[in-house]
Amino acid sequence: MIDLSILLQIVWTGLAASSYAILFAVAFALVVKVVKVWNFAQAGVMALSFYVMYAAHNKFAIPLLASVGIGLAATISANIFMDRYGLQTLRNRNSPSLTFFIFTLVVSEFLAYLLAMIFGTEPVALKPSIMSGVNIVYGVVISNWDIEAVCVTIGLLLVLYLFMYKTRDGQFMAAVADNPELSRFYGINVTRAYVITFVIAGVLVTAGMYLFGTKASIIPNTPLQMMLFAVIATLLGGMGRIFAAALAAITLSLIQGLSIFVIPSEWQGLILYVFLFITILFFPQGVSLQKFKQLMAPLTINKPLHKKGI
Amino acid sequence: MEYFISLAVLLGIYITLSSSFNLIIGYGGLVSIAHPIFFALGAYTTGLMAIHFQTNPALAVLAGGGVAFVSSAMLSLPSLRISGDYLLITSIGFQLGLLEVIKHVSFTGGASGLGNIPNVVEGSSRSAVFAIISCLIAAVVVWMIRWLLRGPYGRVIAAMRDDELAFSALGRNAMMIKLTLFAIGSGFAGIAGGIYAYYFQYISPDQFEILQSAMLLTMVVVGGMGSQWGPVVGAVLLLLLPQAIGFLNLPSSVMAPLQGVIFTTLVLAFLFWRPQGLIGSNQRQSEGGA
Amino acid sequence: MKPSNRRRMLALSALIMSAVFANVATAQSKETLKFGLAMPLSGSQALYGADQVKAAQWAVADINAKGGVNGKQLEMIVVDTQADPQLGINAVKRLTSVDNVPVLITAWSSVVKAVAPIANRDKVLELSVGANSPDIAKLGDYVYTTFPLAEVDVSALSKHTYTTLGKKTAAVLYINNDSGVEGAAIYKGVFEKAGGKVVAYEAYDSKATEFTGALLKVKASNPDIIHIQGLVADLPQVIAQMRQLGLQQRVSTYSAGYNPKVIEQLGAAAEGLIVTSLAPGVSDNPNVEPFINRWKESEKRVPNGLPYTQYLYDGPYLVAELYKWIEKNKLPATGENLRKALITVKNFELPLTGGLSVGEDHRVNKPVYLLTVDKGQFVPLATIK
């Protein structure tokens, strides 16, 4: 009953539009994996990234690509600064997870307020016009923005994959993710691993904000609202599996888009929360085939349930 | 004068909220930030009962507390299986998810809020009456929490908080205690919600968002988590500070974000230089830091 | 008492008395006619709020320059609501209990609703200028609107679309918040009553940036015209994605779309867009053009939300009229009396928005001006009385 071209259209546009969400989810998941922190400060850094690019391009008339470069530099610096002076201090004190949460959330709020003070709260986009050229391929509308978004995302994910699996630094990061103490014991520079993680996160975030900012307009608070999606994707993917998080992000996006055929449009916003609950309750380690089978078997739960932190 | 009296109403409400929140995360050790949703449940229950059934105000407020008390199980039961960061995320999801439902359902007024809650105190001394009731309730709540923590249960709770593994090994049932603390704390929040609904006669979902969670969290952290007077001090400070800034009469486009900047800087400063809060608690030294 | 002492006493009391009288006299000449203005000066709505406040400030200055009301100056006290209900309540409380104003002007539906209890309890006249939620008519004795509520312009547009523009089927897209839901329902009701058919009725989340699903459903229903009940922030994105997905139908929206920014962001995709305005345009009222020129001179741009600024400019004039009635009838300046003035005088002639007739049902009726985008500019399309 569903027209094929409509299905294809929703799939394509949904995929393209989920590009920035994927980048944000992977950035978030990477930090969770290596640094072991649920980095809600990412929202504030996302806002910072956008506004630096916006200011450079719109207030100082710097060409777009260069503005993105400046934004990138600002984002990475902010990340590293936050890790070095913020997270490290808390790590040294063995602070409980609540403290980390408060810190990262407050950093995001601080940045949001600061940006509101400087730039006001009028919705702004990176470019004055949000329309982009359109091409029609086999009845499916493909806009130039779509193409750019998909290419950028695939490109970055590919580079990330190669980095994580083919370079020494990438492997060190995986080791640190597994066991920081042991890694240090073996001479791996844990701090360097953290720094590289935040650099990569900075790149993903800046790319994501560039894509988002050329499609829609934002206010300083917008990134905080986008964090929920990144969190759920990370959870679904499972701790320590960033490409699973990317897959989860794509799946969530598609489900949200396709749900319009099944549920009334007003309730679409609730889907994310439903997923969050199901994930936490039944798949706290992330979705995997093994876990699914486990759940389907008679419910004899004899797992160690008390975990302090992660 | 009227201005200060209405401030007193808010003060009473927020002291109730922060103290009950502290009971849950400071003493119960449950990392949930969903406290505002129980505040909301109480407010909506009371408001709806007042509008549709013209219930006796005291009854309506208690009903609000009751609904919050019972519905806390929706969050606390799953929380027994998960802990730490997972519980945190779950509580955020619970709060925001329930708010989404409230926004989409018509009998709660939806996203535009529930208005026309009937006025139950007529006359010029209305604010004073509310201020007295609100502060009285705050006092009762603080006192009850003190009583709870001082009595025989107090030692049990402290033991559970300090070392849960040993606690369970000794055969003690941490689960029931956690559930109870969660329910009590949420119930108090519901009562605060009832007062709130009657005073303002208008409630809307955006008043119970993550910003509210952050505010409560700040009050507890700045005041001193795990101490009995800490949250009270935190509530007083964090309510009066924005008012004070407001009177500076700065250009308004800068004023609101500036308040936010000062606010958040304050929290960050506390997190780093005085993690135990204004009223430091020595009981948590074993865990180190805040 | 010794005679010299008595004389001293008399002299002293004379001195005191004269001082008192002098104070009273100066106090009287300094006496101002106060009213409050609660607007978003910060926050996401600030760009509209700030312009509306400016318009009101100009009006107060203009009125006072011409001698005020019977020689007394109007004094407007401005507070920030950030268009947030809670902050609105705080701000209005300051107005009523610290500044003791008997009448205040406010806007943004959620704030109007949130502060209504205060107005009703403290007997302060609340004038809602610009908010359009239909609920406003039922907020209590002391809440009146000078701006037509949603049913006026959306109904007029809907009916006109069917009867005059001849569109038999319509699709309705709306944002999932109170103004969207209410406005969409009104549009649908009127359209179907006039004889038309609403073939698609889809909501989108207020935080959404991607509307493909809803838009494809609309596309599949093949309507003659598409009506969007959204906000100025999401409207351009919806239309942009709509055009990119190949929906070429004409689009209509309500007054939120009457904003040059929309044309700027959409470029050619905005052509044909129909919007409503509840304030007279340049060709309908001779005062409008000088008003716009005044903006261009002092701010080097046109105001954000021109119709709303027109209403806010007229706000102080309305308040001045109420005070005039009070002065004429020698009544104290209380909220109760100002309200009496409003319902007794009932009909007012205001500079930038023309005639105002305050109904007993707390509603006002105004002509609806339809405009459309033609070659990148808004041009008048029709006027519906």
- Mark residue C203 as left, alpha or beta (left: phi above 0; alpha: psi -120 to 50; beta: remaining): beta
B contacts of A235 (beta carbons < 8 Å): 89
Mean pLDDT of B48-70: 91
Axis-axis angle for helices B210-223, B252-273 (nearest 10)? 50
Is residue C316 within 8 A of residue C60, CB to CB? The reply is yes
According to the model, what pLDDT value does residue A256 have? 81
Instruction: For C47, name the nearest residue in chain B, comparing CA atoms only.
Output: B253
CA angle A48, A227, A151 (to 5 degrees): 75
For chain B positions 235-254, those within 8 Å of chain A (CB to CB) are 253-254
Given a cut of 50, is residue B10 above it in pLDDT?
yes
Distance from C-alpha of C253 to C-alpha of B124, rounded to nearest angstrom? 45
3-state class (DSSP) for residue B288: coil
Given a cut of 90, is residue A271 above it in pLDDT?
no
A271 touches chain B (CB under 8 A): no
Axis-axis angle for helices A222-237, A19-35 (nearest 10)? 60
C18 touches chain B (CB under 8 A): no
> CA-based diameter of chain A, in Å?
64
Most confident of A128-142, A273-287, C12-26, C87-101: C87-101
Distance from C-alpha of C153 to C-alpha of C279, rounded to nearest angstrom? 11
According to the model, what pLDDT value does residue A310 have? 40
Q: Quick one: how far is CA C216 from the chain centroid? A: 35
pLDDT band per the 50, 70, 90 thresholds, residue C216: confident
Concatenated DSSP letters of A103-142? HHHHHHHHHHHHHHHHH-S--B-SSS-----EEEETTEEE
Phi first, then psi: what are they for B123, rounded to 5°? Answer: 100, 170
Given a cut of 80, is residue A201 above it in pLDDT?
yes
B258 touches chain A (CB under 8 A): yes
pLDDT band per the 50, 70, 90 thresholds, residue A61: confident
- C77 CA to chain B: closest CA distance, Å? 13
Distance from C-alpha of A146 to C-alpha of A162, rounded to nearest angstrom? 24
Distance from C-alpha of C233 to C-alpha of B46, rounded to nearest angstrom? 35
Cβ of B201 and C181 within 8 Å? no
* Helices and strands, counts by H and E, chain B: 11, 0
Mean pLDDT of C113-136: 90
Of B111, B112, B256, the CB nearest to C43: B256
Question: Looking at per-residue confidence, does B228 or B39 come out higher?
Answer: B39
Average the pLDDT over each of A130-144, B26-40, B207-221, C162-176 and give the range with the smallest value: A130-144
pLDDT digits 0-9 by tens, C343-384: 999 899 999 988 888 888 888 888 899 999 998 888 888 888
According to the model, what pLDDT value does residue A288 have? 65
Of A93, A105, A280, the CB nearest to B288: A93
Task: Rounding to the nearest 10 degrees, give the CA dihedral for residues B79, B82, B83, B88.
Answer: -70
Tokens for A124, please give them.
Answer: 């702004």
Which H/E stretch holds residue B153?
helix B152-162
According to the model, what pLDDT value does residue B142 have? 92
Given a cut of 60, is residue C337 above it in pLDDT?
yes
Cβ of C207 and A225 within 8 Å? yes
pLDDT digits 0-9 by tens, A16-44: 888 999 999 999 999 999 998 889 999 99
- Strand (E) positions, C40-131? 73-80, 103-106, 125-128
pLDDT averaged over chain B? Answer: 83
According to the model, what pLDDT value does residue A309 have? 44
Instruction: For A89, name the nearest residue in chain B, comparing CA atoms only.
Output: B272
For chain A positions 54-73, those within 8 Å of chain B (CB to CB) are none
Cβ of A260 and C214 within 8 Å? yes
Average the pLDDT over each of A237-246, C52-61, C115-124 and give the range with the smallest value: A237-246
A191 touches chain C (CB under 8 A): no
Average the pLDDT over each of A179-188, B79-88, C92-101, C341-350 and give the range with the smallest value: B79-88
According to the model, what pLDDT value does residue A21 have? 92
A225 touches chain C (CB under 8 A): yes
Mean pLDDT of B222-247: 82
Most confident of B77-86, B252-261, C139-148: C139-148
Given a cut of 70, is residue A308 above it in pLDDT?
no
Instruction: For C48, name the nearest residue in chain A, comparing CA atoms only.
Output: A122
According to the model, what pLDDT value does residue C17 have? 47
Strand partners, C325: none
Mean pLDDT of A212-234: 87
- B123 CA to chain C: closest CA distance, Å? 8
According to the model, what pLDDT value does residue C16 have? 47
- B120 CA to chain C: closest CA distance, Å? 11
Which H/E stretch holds residue A283?
none
- Long-range interactions of B251-254: CB distance < 8 A, separation 24+: B252/C41, B252/C42, B252/C80, B253/A120, B253/C41, B253/C42, B253/C46, B253/C50, B254/A117, B254/C42
pLDDT digits 0-9 by tens, A97-115: 778 888 998 899 999 989 9
> CA-based diameter of chain B, in Å?
61
A110 touches chain B (CB under 8 A): yes
Average the pLDDT over each of B132-141, C77-86, C206-215 and give the range with the smallest value: C206-215
pLDDT digits 0-9 by tens, B65-120: 999 999 998 888 877 777 677 788 888 888 988 888 888 887 888 877 888 788 88
According to the model, what pLDDT value does residue B176 have? 80
Of A102, A116, A281, the CB nearest to B271: A102
Asked whether the ipTM of the predicted complex exceeds the cut of 0.85, the reply is no
Which H/E stretch holds residue B257?
helix B252-273
According to the model, what pLDDT value does residue C155 have? 92
Cβ of B86 and A94 within 8 Å? no
pLDDT averaged over chain A? Answer: 85
Instruction: For C79, name the nearest residue in chain B, comparing CA atoms only.
Output: B252
CA distances from B43 to A224, B23, B68, B131, B209 (A): 26, 20, 9, 17, 14
Is residue A34 within 8 A of residue A176, CB to CB? The reply is yes
B contacts of A105 (beta carbons < 8 Å): 214
pTM of the complete model beyond 0.90: no
B contacts of A276 (beta carbons < 8 Å): 89-90, 93, 97
Given a cut of 60, is residue C29 above it in pLDDT?
no
- B289 CA to chain C: closest CA distance, Å? 35
- B115 CA to chain C: closest CA distance, Å? 7
Return the percentage of chain A with pLDDT > 70, whole number: 90
Contacts of C162 (CB under 8 A, 6+ apart): C168, C170, C191, C194, C195, C196
According to the model, what pLDDT value does residue C52 have? 93
One-letter identity of residue C88? G
pLDDT band per the 50, 70, 90 thresholds, residue C194: very high
Short-list C22, C48, C41, CA closest to C88:
C41
